[in-house]
Chain A
């Protein structure tokens, strides 16, 4: 092994400039690959961070209109979800696939604080909604079980809604612990939630039970949201949805296969699409990077060919004194891999450094989309897996680059090689 390295070092030393120039092409190829993938990751991360309003395994259900007659009832009938549906969803029937269940019931109401008032929308929710909708708190707490049990008159206000109740320049946090008037009743503000661009800036959250009793909603439920488990494939998800729909439809005397009686929004599908998009992007970037790298590889192959030509006589001597064709092949391929790997790693290192720089610059730059600040790149850079893959690519590339020259060198008959020069 050490002898091999000595031989490679000798050969490279004799052709410093040529090796360095070709090596630059390899470095450039890997550099581009790493930077492209790193920036691509940053873009995807920013996308996910900006758009991921809900847990990916959450399903929302709402009432719709029947699209076909069933059980003696006409089509076009309004279906309203009720407490029974909530109980069924969380009950025995779906125990294998349903984890947490939350329901909402909402109503429009005027919300006042001091002199300011807005026409808001009170969303009666369960504590589980926080996790399902990925609600992050700015201050205070979210609705909890005690609020539900006691039907407390408390609200959680998203920052953007709070802004409407405050003079410009005042911090939303200032509302924490204060009372706001919702309709005729005073609700205490127990938390300020971070807002995001996916939601209305007139929403307020109150305990499900409070909204129900105060606004006399009876059995009615606006929508049901629950998280699923054990649904690993697209097919599992579809089967579950079909089953779920038929059960809920039947509770409302709608055809089990009526697609419109209730609407079901399963984020798992969205998640699959997101993953597909990510894969397509990274595949495209890999292809671009690999093509850039190809130039470098052709270069290495080229210098190996020249090297082989120059050293034909030497190889003849080696063969005459007992070098097997394989030992010559090995020498050329190792040299090619060594050059490719060495310069590849320089490129990889510089690429990662550039990703760091991107993180410090573009990563901090925000752009404003729909009232929300999002970073252009979030954590750009590549993981260890990509570094390992790139290493593999380099070794394969080096082997390929050395293969044909090596075959040529090994194939020359010693007598011809000795005559060369």
Chain B
């Protein structure tokens, strides 16, 4: 098991306490391509943030690769995120005043990799995602699909074990969404990287091998979707 959650609980205490995650038990193996689906407010993002060590949980246990992730200092958390986890966000979260290649380089900067090597590697990844020609462009000069591909390159550059994507296609049209999901699928198959995608869209979920349904803060059905017949892109995009 690469990722193991045992009875994880999370309550938000801003004013009215809100028990969002009510005992999550979930295991994800290395190399899996998983989607998490659920209604709005069901706690998908909360769960993903805990998986990404961006947020804390209250009780239970969370292990990555057998290591307990609990009560880490900010410094340790940053180091784990840097080495083991790549993030893809709905709103891309590229740094606006840095060019595409500089954005992709950034995780390596925080690893202390020297400039030349960083640049070389970032160019390789951009090339792989078909963006070599856009390396010197700023995010506001690119389309949503291109921006998301830059973000994917940034997530991949440290060669992480896990890629976490919170509604990566939420800001893209369905054609671009499909391209991005295919890209993630390829990366999963070629690089054996574990990918967890949070989504509303069944078409997006259908691209993954396993669909985890979350309802009212607990894990519901876990669907095996290796046949990819759950629902096709464009048809029955129920929640969009």
A320 touches B106 (CB 8 A): no
B52 touches A320 (CB 8 A): yes
Residues of A within 8 A of B89 (CB): 418
A3 touches B54 (CB 8 A): no
How close is B71's CB to chain A, nearest CB, in angstroms? 14
Q: Which residues of A contact B (CB under 8 A)?
A: 2-3, 10, 14, 313-314, 317-327, 410, 413-415, 418
Pick from B82, B97, B158: contact of A14, CB below 8 A.
B97
B52 touches A321 (CB 8 A): no
A314-B95, A322-B79, A322-B83 known; A327 vs B115 contact (CB < 8 Å): no
Pick from B54, B74, B115, B158: contact of A320, CB below 8 A.
B54
A322-B83, A415-B49, A415-B55 known; A317 vs B110 contact (CB < 8 Å): no
Residues of A within 8 A of B109 (CB): 3
Interface centre among B83, B89, B109 (most CB of A within 10 A): B109
How close is A59's CB to chain B, nearest CB, in angstroms? 67
B79 touches A320 (CB 8 A): no
Q: Which residues of B contact A (CB under 8 A)?
A: 49, 52, 54-55, 74-75, 77-79, 81-83, 87, 89, 93-95, 97-98, 106-107, 109-111, 115, 154, 158
Residues of A within 8 A of B93 (CB): 313, 317, 320, 418
A324 touches B75 (CB 8 A): yes
Pick from A313, A318, A321, A326: contact of B75, CB below 8 A.
A326
Q: Nearest A residue to B52 by beta-carbon distance? A: A320
B115 touches A2 (CB 8 A): yes
Q: Nearest A residue to B83 by beta-carbon distance? A: A322
Pick from B49, B77, B87, B115: contact of A321, CB below 8 A.
B87
Residues of A within 8 A of B55 (CB): 413, 415
A327 touches B54 (CB 8 A): no
How close is B195's CB to chain A, nearest CB, in angstroms? 17
CA distance A325 to B115 in the complex (A): 21
B107 touches A321 (CB 8 A): yes
How close is B215's CB to chain A, nearest CB, in angstroms? 23
Residues of A within 8 A of B79 (CB): 322, 324
Residues of A within 8 A of B75 (CB): 324-326
A323 touches B78 (CB 8 A): yes
CA distance A10 to B99 in the complex (A): 12
Residues of B within 8 A of A313 (CB): 93
B97 touches A324 (CB 8 A): no
Residues of B within 8 A of A414 (CB): 54, 77
- Give 7 nearest A-B pairs by CB, closest first: A322-B82, A322-B110, A415-B55, A415-B54, A324-B78, A321-B107, A317-B93
CA distance A42 to B191 in the complex (A): 74
CA distance A307 to B97 in the complex (A): 14
Residues of B within 8 A of A314 (CB): 95
A319 touches B78 (CB 8 A): yes
Residues of B within 8 A of A326 (CB): 75
